[in-house]
Amino acid sequence: MKIKRQNIIVQQLQDYRFNSILVRSFVTILAVLLCTFLGIMLLVSKKMDSLIEKEVSTISNNSLRQTAEHMDTLMNEVMQISTQLSLDDDIMNFLLTDTSDSGINHKETLLAKNKLKQYSDIFEYIDSIYVYSSKSNYIVTEEGGGNVGSFDDLTWYENITERIYEPARMISRLKYNKYPYLITYILPVRLTQMQFLGGILVNVDVEKAGEFAPTEEDETLLIIDERNNIIFSSNDEYRMGKWNQLEFYDAYAGHKGNALTLDINGRSTVLLQIDSDNFGWSYASLVPLEKYRDYQRDLRDFMVTIVALIIILTMVLSVLIAIYSYEPVKNIISLVKNPASYSQVEASGFRKDEAQEIIQNIVHNFYSNSQLQQDLKDYLDITNKAQLIALQAQISPHFLYNTLENIRWRAIDICKGDNEVSQIILNLSQLLRISLDNERPIITLEEEVENTRLYIEILQLRYENKLLIEWQIEQELLACQIVKVSLQPLIENAVYHGIKPMRGKGFILIRAYRSGDQVILAVQDNGVGMSREECDILNRDMEEKYEQKEDHIGVRNVNQRLKLLLGDEAGIHIESEKGKGTVVLMTVPYRVME
């Protein structure tokens, strides 16, 4: 078996078709690519030694610039947070209130605590926020409050109490005398220029703020404050140290802003220091060159190995691809000579690739006439179905209006005049026409009242004397804007959820009056009402994102359309008491319809 397989390979190699354009082009292109690749790699490896130091300097500079921009942006956020807190009513009430005798459960303290917690929960880099009141000598944080004497973190206290007339400032300090440092932004708060109320202190955990730093392995990032304290270091060796006391400080002095290669701890290292554009600290990075040079050597060895493998694999694949490509070509030639042999070719295991598509195109030219007729019949069936769907789609709301009108006239003809059935059909047809008209979602209150009266007439024909409706609409409000079909769902809810379950006569009062820049429409019934808990749940649900539910669909739908079409100031509020009825208040902005 092995001898036979070897003979087949030798025969393929000797076949003239093996010297095809495919193989020759493949080998030629591969040779050109390999030569070009090898030449480029040789040039790059020679140039890399001279460029690596410059590249590391550029990377360090870009990394430090990104760090500086991000840190400056972060501290600008801290300044905005402090300013927002100084303008907050809850914080100002705490600063103005004497809470020294009230304890941490005082109302102003609790409100201020909750306000601080909102900010500390949002911004992960914030360690804590303090609000100090000089009036009561009291401190509140996101965790609670207490007198200054009972507070265990006071390294900031002298800075604010002894410099009360100075502007806002930033300081770096240790909390509980251990790393990490805190950057504290102190914002004095004054009622007047000379009346000091206290201060707002936002404490930034430098360790968390430095997590964003884009440092590579073995690279060290340092943040240095204006007193030369290293307030952040990605390397434990330099933490809580002094920048001006490091062994390489003197060698780098005078080169700030420029990269310099120094021998640090026996390693050739690129050192770069830049200043913050907005604050008093600076940033420094130390990048060892050894890692990049080792990487260069490893890359060169790796590329040599890859090139050798590519050459060997190319030689093997060139032979295999040529043999593999010739087999489908032979089958295609056989098929062109004898199209009837397609079934035998397919049965022999034809590969599903580009050759398969060529075969399918060839065979397509020999389809029988019966097959074409069958395809034509299928297309005609599809066309007939499409025409049927098109005819069905022509049934529009207009057809429905006309049908209802024909039914109404038939009812008049049978009963020899207008009757309750014809009146209901007439009102229903008009209501349907109004509801399906999407061109005017907003109409005047006068139009909405007239539309609602059509629905009420249908209700009163059904319930006869059990339902009494009273209108109290101010005349000047009839021209104001309102969402179409907004009153009818409220009346429907009043009837079916309030009046229908009760015994006795139902009463609905519909009022419209103006309150400032708003118009209030109240639908009040004397139905069974609902409990306060049910009413509160419904009101809370309507304040949240709209969700379709089984109960109170009409009220929710109206509330959502009001907000979408008239703004968030529009909406619905429900007041109800068990056994005494319900009042639905619909609020819309006062806008006269043009």
- Please report, as a single letter, which amino acid is at residue 372: L
Please write the tens of the pLDDT for every residue from 451-492. Answer: 888 778 777 777 777 888 899 998 899 999 998 888 988 988
pLDDT recorded at residue 36: 76
Contact partners, residue 27, CB within 8 Å, separation at least 6: 314, 318
pLDDT at 376: 63
Residue 465, pLDDT score: 74
Q: Residue 586: its pLDDT value, please?
A: 93
Among residues 564, 402, 404, the alpha carbon closest in space to that of 483 is found at 564
Q: Please choose, from the candidates 355, 322, 342, the residue with its C-alpha nearest in 3D space to the C-alpha of residue 26.
A: 322
182 and 173 in contact (C-beta within 8 Å)?
A: yes
Closest CA to 521 of 529, 509, 536, 511: 511
Residues in the chain: 594
CB-based contact 263:275 (threshold 8 Å)? no
Chain centroid to Cα 6, Å, comes to 63
* Predicted pLDDT of residue 381: 57
pLDDT in tens, 33-79: 677 767 777 776 666 656 666 777 777 778 788 888 888 888 888 89
**What pLDDT, on a 0 to 100 scale, did the predictor assign at position 31?**
74
- Per-residue burial over 507-524, b if 16 or more Cβ lie within 10 Å, else e, is bbbbbbeeeeeebbbbbb
Name 256's Cβ contacts closer than 8 Å, sequence gap at least 6: 273, 274, 275, 282
pTM: predicted TM-score of the whole model, two decimal places = 0.43
Q: For 195, phi and psi rounded to 5 degrees?
A: -105, 100
For residue 250, give the nearest of 237, 236, 260 by alpha carbon.
260
pLDDT tens per residue across all 594 residues of the chain: 555 555 655 555 555 444 555 556 566 766 776 777 677 777 766 666 566 667 777 777 787 888 888 888 888 888 999 999 989 988 888 888 875 554 445 788 888 888 888 888 888 888 889 999 888 888 999 888 888 888 888 888 888 888 888 888 888 888 777 777 788 899 999 888 788 889 999 998 887 876 656 566 677 888 888 888 887 877 778 877 888 888 888 888 887 878 888 888 777 788 888 888 878 788 888 888 776 666 666 666 777 777 777 777 776 666 666 666 666 666 666 666 666 555 544 544 455 556 666 666 666 665 555 576 676 666 455 444 433 333 333 334 444 545 555 565 555 656 666 656 666 666 666 656 555 555 677 889 998 898 888 778 777 777 777 888 899 998 899 999 998 888 988 988 888 888 888 888 889 999 999 999 999 999 999 999 999 999 988 888 887 655 444 444 478 888 888 888 888 889 999 999 998 899 999 999 999 987
